[in-house]
Structure 1
Amino acid sequence: MSSVLTAAAVQRRYVGLTALRWLPLGITVPVIVLLASARGLSTTEIGLTVAVHSIVAVSLELPTGGLADAIGHRPVLVLSAVLGAAGLLTMAAAQDVAVFALAYGLIGAGRALDSGPLESWFVDATHAADPGADTTPGLSRAAAASGLGLALGAVLGGLVPLLADGAGSAALTIPFLLAAGVDVVYLVALMALVTPLRTAPAPTSAAAALLRGCRDVPRLIRETARLTRDDGILRRLLILSAVSGLVFSTLELLGPLRFAELAGGATEGTAVFGVVMAASFAAASVGSVLAGRVRRAAGGSTAVATAGVALLAALVLAGTALSPVLAVTAVSYALFYLVNAAGWPLRQQLMHTRVTAEHRATTVSVASLALQAGGIVGSLAVARLADATSDTAGFAVAVAALLFAAAVSLRLRVPVGAGMAG
């Protein structure tokens, strides 16, 4: 069935599924901390439950990426949607730390499962339809779709509780029910649109197929580790993923505090930050579409383009940290998302040129693992630094990390004859 798909049809499916994948997260962003707080959790307890999400995602990232390579993309994606919906429903019902931690664990497991398979299905299906097709436009449009999905979700998540005014804290559960419903739609869409690409002897049961896939995971992980060890370009791309995780965790941690400070209070800051995040998600979608133009402006060099993006991102992030004017800080914050998003599709396409289809999903998951690991370092180290000194010092770490990323990016040049020109 997948053989009749054109490259354009594959791209349309991938873009639509990407938007559905990120919409539930956007819906819950404005209310997730408020719900836990309303249920009696302290800030420290909320932090502990969030840590469960990160730990589960990091622990499962590599094994689940290899599982997708072994048994196919669709079964893993369907399981991820089931876990995501279960986590959202559990979150809506949670009343204590243990149940919130369980909910975050389910969501983290689902996120680990779907970090690589959907993107690798798109690349493999595109190349099956047209071996010479450029995947950058599809990756760019999908990144734009994820930004739009997050932005639309943030608006919905902020407005829905207002429509249930008078329902008290119960109104905060409505976005989670809505997000779970979207996850169910996503599951149905996965079943219909992600067509299998590989043929293999049919196992006696689904359990047998899963067992066979699990047995292949260690081999696939070892081979991907060998690839990253022997390929300097892949190593540098993983470093850039880790830097991105550190920078974004810093923004998620210190951004709300910065806007609360400038807006004059936590309540005002929360309202402003919600609007800024919606604008930032939308800006990221625009930046993703500009990736091809950015590379052309850099003379066709991925290395120069990504280095320039990192330098500009450092500049606008410094504006976020230093400006005493709320409007300037808000614009700088959104500009960071726009600029940073222009570099992501270029790095992803370069990564895909370094691996074969057999190891693609695992390699994408390795990059996601590096992103998560960088995020954990940022949440712990930058938070401690900001507490000991100031929020500005925490932002300074992120700016320094981006300058380091610019230097690493300049070494993404691919030798002639070794792959895509850098």
Structure 2
Amino acid sequence: MDIPWVEKYRPRRFRDIVGNNKAINEILRWAQDWERGKPRYKALVLVGKPGCGKTTVAKVLAEEMGWGVIELNASDIRNEQKIKEIALRGAVYETFTDDGEFISSKKGGRKLIIFDEADNLYEGVKDGDRGGKKAIAETIKNTRQPIILIGNDYYSLFSGTWGKALKSLAYVIRFKALTRAQIMKVLKRICMAEGIKCQDTALAYIAGRSGGDLRAAINDLQALAQGKKILTEDDLGATGYRDVKNEIYKSTLVVLHTEHFWEAKNALTNLDETPDYVLFWIEENMPLEYTKPEDLVRAYEYLSRADVYLGRVKRRQQYALWAYAMDMIAGVSVGKEEKYKQHARRYQFPSWLSQMSRSKKVRGIRDSLGMKLGRIYHTSKNEVLDNVIQEFSVLYDKDEGVRRLYTSILHLNEDEISYLTEKDPKEILNELKK
């Protein structure tokens, strides 16, 4: 069975971790306070979106400090009795690590108690179980060992009476979602290790769609690239990504109508799209909204600056410049002298992207025909496309016998038939069935 790449390439040292340097430094200072026997807080709470590295950092900390690890999960253990049986016992008494190694606190041995998905802790009685937050608070008060709580939802973890108690006992460290550039760096590293050649645009797309979740991006990469030597943009459809047309529509509406730069920037920051794609949407629909020429001039000036940054990204592969490009696109919002009260009833999909999509489809049809005819003519696809297909299409269009024969033996589909003749492809296929 193949090892999940998330585990296979999980960092083992801090130097291998990407992002959240400030949070990591705070955690290291806390660990050093424990080593000196003078921790101000006995527990840490790591909060942040999924996939930003919270659990990985906790495990790497134990590895770097030479501490044992006791790892618990709130999805399995979240009521008071179970926590007292496991967490409190491990925090107060001598115990063994998960590997069976005995750790003596009297001899200075440390064990890190990691409580993952802590935001799933019960506050009070629920489904017959008494709340786990109370037990965790008591554990922190009495612990002789460092404790790290990990959760995604800050407010869920600290809600209620015992949630407030937890907050007073532990130091909270927030983790930020990773940027596209940071995620791409990891994805490139994995591709190199797996011997996969991957287009930067494909990696950028995967990274952008992850929403800052490195784990999700790695899983998508494995689903797309495992067993392949080359990964291109054409392979991206296999991930089943959601339709984001409604999201880009809403963000375009905000940028073109708000008078506040920060509002436009927030709309684009929360949009999981690359700057070049966003730029096409703004550029296409801006003339529908901005009726004053001077407003259009200023708005296009911002877009031109964004395009400069995007050009540098393409030439130098410096994806950190994407942030500056997004800021320039958001600047369109302050290009107008006053807010437009009316807005276009319906925004248009960027015409340039539509043309590229159609031309890409045509190239795909040509390539398919080239390969099919190449097998019959015992020649290469390129040879067919350069010297054969034009004359063949004339013969196919004029001669019914040739048309019936080659439609059958080449298993031509409607798109391929439409490319070769102006006749109705459905009628041709129906004739073959008779």
**TM class by smaller structure:** under 0.3
Larger radius of gyration: 2
- Which structure carries more relative contact order (alpha carbon 8 Å, separation 6+)? 1
| Larger proportion of helix | 1
TM-score (norm 2): 0.20
| Larger proportion of strand | 2
TM-score (norm 1): 0.21
